[in-house]
């Protein structure tokens, strides 16, 4: 039922400044502005590759203002579906009443029953690529119960858990699952337990608890992105000229959300199908 990760929502004190930074660093494009009264926020929507990022700035008390007061950054993972009416009906059958936002619907972690995971569901749409990125394909969810999260996502969205891929990193100190929506595509929630609390991710979890941590995307223009970061955000990224496979853009550069970037196809290295990786 889920087609892809098509967006991420983030909260910010100054949505315009954050949007301009995405434009500056990633050659993203500001597409539209509106007010989302049910969330108590003004919204700027930008195109990043063929995905979107929604930047929310509070204008009234509500979930956005509370999230920002608690630290801000990644607020909701965005899924697209080819039939949003079926998705809405499945939620109704599960006793969950979503919040309608125009043609989208939003479900907070409390109603979803998955601590730390807010979601927004949109109708799937073909979009032309914009800028240096090709697409977003992952949002990372931190939890002490990846198994329970996987089961809940599979139940709510009719996902086949046989397509899910276990993942573990001693380097970053986490263990969990990639909930691939379709085994032919990278799109998924990475739901993981940051077991090593001495690492950056573990320290983040100790501070914020179950939460969204970062997002990941692909590019076929990694050297160009790297050079732009060197010039415009020299202290706000991690990578090297010797690594043509990926880099990280730090939260300080993008309004409180970490962005991992891998070259096209390289994420299959750790996503269950390493034979799909094409040479650099």
What's the pLDDT tens digit per position in 89-137?
A: 999 999 999 999 999 999 999 999 999 999 999 999 999 999 999 999 9
Please count the CA atoms within 13 angstroms of the CA of 74 that sit on its side-chain side: 28
At residue 225 the predicted structure's pLDDT band, cuts being 50, 70 and 90, is very high
In the chain, how many domains are there?
1
0.75 exceeded by pTM = yes
How many Cβ atoms sit within 10 Å of the Cβ of residue 257? 27
Give every CB contact of residue 95 below 8 A, 6+ residues apart in sequence.
Answer: none
In the predicted model, what is the mean pLDDT of the chain? 97
- Give the model's pLDDT for residue 79: 96
Output the CA–CA distances (angstroms, integers) from residue 84 to 81, 126, 246, in the order listed.
Answer: 6, 15, 33
Any idea what DSSP says for residue 84? H
How far is it, in rounded angstroms, from Cα 239 to Cα 222? 11
At residue 167 the predicted structure's pLDDT band, cuts being 50, 70 and 90, is very high
Indicate whether 280 pLDDT > 90.
Answer: no
At residue 1 the predicted structure's pLDDT band, cuts being 50, 70 and 90, is confident
Here the CATH number for the domain that contains residue 21 is 3.10.180.10
Average pLDDT over residues 223-248: 96
* Domain that includes residue 253, residue range: 1-280
- Beta bridge partners of residue 113, listed in sequence order: none
Minimal CA–CA distance to 100: which of 113, 110, 85? Answer: 85
Indicate whether 8 pLDDT > 90.
Answer: yes
Strands (E) located in the chain: 2-11, 29-36, 41-48, 51-58, 73-81, 99-101, 104-107, 119-123, 135-142, 165-169, 174-178, 188-193, 211-219, 237-238, 246-249, 258-263
């Amino acid at each position: 039922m889920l087609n892809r990760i098509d967006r991420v929502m983030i909260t910010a004190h100054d949505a315009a400044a954050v949007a301009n930074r995405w434009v500056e660093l990633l050659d993203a494009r500001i597409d539209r502005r509106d007010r989302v009264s049910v969330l108590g926020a003004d919204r700027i929507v930008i195109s990043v590759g063929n995905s979107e990022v929604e930047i929310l700035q509070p204008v009234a008390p509500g979930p956005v203002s509370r999230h920002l007061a608690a630290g801000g950054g990644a607020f909701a993972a965005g899924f697209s579906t080819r039939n949003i009416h079926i998705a809405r009906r499945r939620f109704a059958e599960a006793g969950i009443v979503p919040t309608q936002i125009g043609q989208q619907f939003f479900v907070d972690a409390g109603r979803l029953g998955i601590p730390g995971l807010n979601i927004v569901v949109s109708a799937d749409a073909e979009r032309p690529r914009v800028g240096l990125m090709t697409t977003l394909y992952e949002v990372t969810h931190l939890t002490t119960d990846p198994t329970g999260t996987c089961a809940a996502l599979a139940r709510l969205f009719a996902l086949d858990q046989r397509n899910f891929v276990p993942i573990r990193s001693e380097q970053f100190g986490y263990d969990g699952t990639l909930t691939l929506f379709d085994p032919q595509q990278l799109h998924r929630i990475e739901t993981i337990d940051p077991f090593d609390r001495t690492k950056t991710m573990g320290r983040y979890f100790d501070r914020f608890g179950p939460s969204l941590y970062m997002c990941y995307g692909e590019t076929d223009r990694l050297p160009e992105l790297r050079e732009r970061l060197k010039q415009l955000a020299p202290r706000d990224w991690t990578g090297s000229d010797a690594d043509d496979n990926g880099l990280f853009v730090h939260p300080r550069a993008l309004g409180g959300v970490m962005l991992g970037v891998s070259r096209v196809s390289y994420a299959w290295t750790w996503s269950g199908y390493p034979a799909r990786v094409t040479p650099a």
